[in-house]
Structure 1
Amino acid sequence: MKRFAMAATLGVACVATLVGCSSQTPGVPSAGSTAGQGGPSGDPFPTSAKSSSTPSSSKPPKGPLAGAAPCTLLGASDISALGLKDQKEGLAVGDSRSCDFHYSGFIASLKVAIYDEHGIGDVQDRTQLTQMPVGKHEAVRGYTGAGGCAFAIKITESSRVDVVASRDGNEQKSCELALPAAQAVEQKLPSS
């Protein structure tokens, strides 16, 4: 009798598990985005309403970096010097193509994103935007809602590259990571 009760309980648990996991959510699967939260997985600088919101995947990218892969904006020596590891390329966030990295030795992340059709004039930030050149390029620095720090570097009036770092939800620590990464990326960008 005990075996029958145990088998019945196990059977009910299995059916409940299968039923609980059988629902489907429509949409396109993506790597855990925190869109709207402004973290490195979300879009820290959403584009303004006046800009087109057509995803870059629906039409070929154009502009000076149209053929560039975001991960190539940091070379092997940059990755080593910055203490990065685990790059993941091909992620799409909004109208951008991006590459994500993690740091060795502590928990933090870095995103490099190319916006082919949105310049720094299209950047919106909920906390603060500061004009701050990065190398020879115009740029704006802003803070994400989750304590991240982001630099949007101008390529043309209608294109940019974002470099976003997040460490411990602390804006200062995040900017200490974002600025040297932005400087390394900037050296590989065409003149604006």
Structure 2
Amino acid sequence: MENGLEVAGMCPTVRIRRGRQGGSSSTVESSESADAASVSELDPCSVLAVEEISEHAKVQQPEHTTVGGAPTCTWPAQAQDTAALVPTPSVAIRDKGGVKDMNDIGRGVQFTTEDGRDYAQAAGHGNCNIAIGVTEKTRVDIMVTGAEDSEQACELANTLTELAGPRVPQG
């Protein structure tokens, strides 16, 4: 695959194409030159722009939270029906666990490396998480929850990982 990364496993194929530019003009600044130690200072809502996500999922403005001790940004899904399964994307900054520490959420964890950067993917029950390695002990997670199935969740998580990759520091 040209300029892409494939992780086979839980989802049919996850392709991470680092450096791909999104279709919208976003005001989110790149942190390519950021020092890896700055991951703990990274605002999870700066990794993706609502305009970028809106091209792929109907979402509302982001909300800052803390999940499992990790600063997290969630873009709540816009659902027509309160019982509807709709994908909800989130970004979490993990400064106490690298890619190899990613939790299995139902279908195992797949690991791969591209251009010196480690990635992991875990999927299950309509959810998909992709970890972007920063250092051995830090990572940024791109998560999609509440999808109809893991395949749909992983497709969106992969797209968002492609968009977020250039903004995530690399150690």
2:66 aligned to 89, 92, 102, which one? 92
Higher relative contact order (CA 8 A, sep 6+): 2
Structure 2 residue identity aligned to 1:129: V
**Match status 1:102 vs 2:106:** no
**Match status 1:78 vs 2:73:** no
TM-score by length of 2: 0.65
Identify the structure with the greater strand proportion.
Answer: 2
Q: Check whether the contact 2:50–2:59 (CA below 8 A) recurs between aligned residues.
A: no
Q: Check whether the contact 1:70–1:89 (CA below 8 A) recurs between aligned residues.
A: no
Identify the structure with the greater helix proportion.
Answer: 1
TM-score by length of 1: 0.59
Please state whether the residue corresponding to 1:143 is helix, strand or coil. Answer: strand
Deviation at 1:103, TM superposition (A): 4.4
Identical counterparts, % of pairs = 24
Q: Distance in 1 between matches of 2:115 and 2:87?
A: 24
Query: Which structure has the bigger radius of gyration?
Result: 1
Q: Distance in 1 between matches of 2:102 and 2:126?
A: 17
1:131 aligned to 111, 134, 144, which one? 111
Number of equivalenced pairs: 130
Q: Check whether the contact 1:137–1:186 (CA below 8 A) recurs between aligned residues.
A: no
**Match status 1:142 vs 2:122:** yes
Please state whether the residue corresponding to 2:62 is helix, strand or coil. Answer: strand
Corresponding residue number in structure 2 for 1:183: 162
> Residues 75 and 134 from structure 1, CA distance in 2 versus in 1: closer, same or farther, beyond 3 angstroms?
farther
Corresponding residue number in structure 2 for 1:117: 96
Q: Distance in 1 between matches of 2:108 and 2:147?
A: 19
Please state whether the residue corresponding to 2:41 is helix, strand or coil. Answer: coil
Deviation at 1:102, TM superposition (A): 3.4
What's the CA shift string for 1:169-190, capped at 9, x where partnerless? Answer: 4011111111011111111011
Corresponding residue number in structure 2 for 1:155: 134
Please state whether the residue corresponding to 1:163 is helix, strand or coil. Answer: strand
Q: Check whether the contact 2:57–2:87 (CA below 8 A) recurs between aligned residues.
A: no
Corresponding residue number in structure 2 for 1:10: none
Q: Check whether the contact 1:63–1:116 (CA below 8 A) recurs between aligned residues.
A: no
For structure 2, the 5+ residue unaligned runs are 1-35, 81-85
The root-mean-square deviation of aligned C-alpha atoms, in Å, is: 2.5
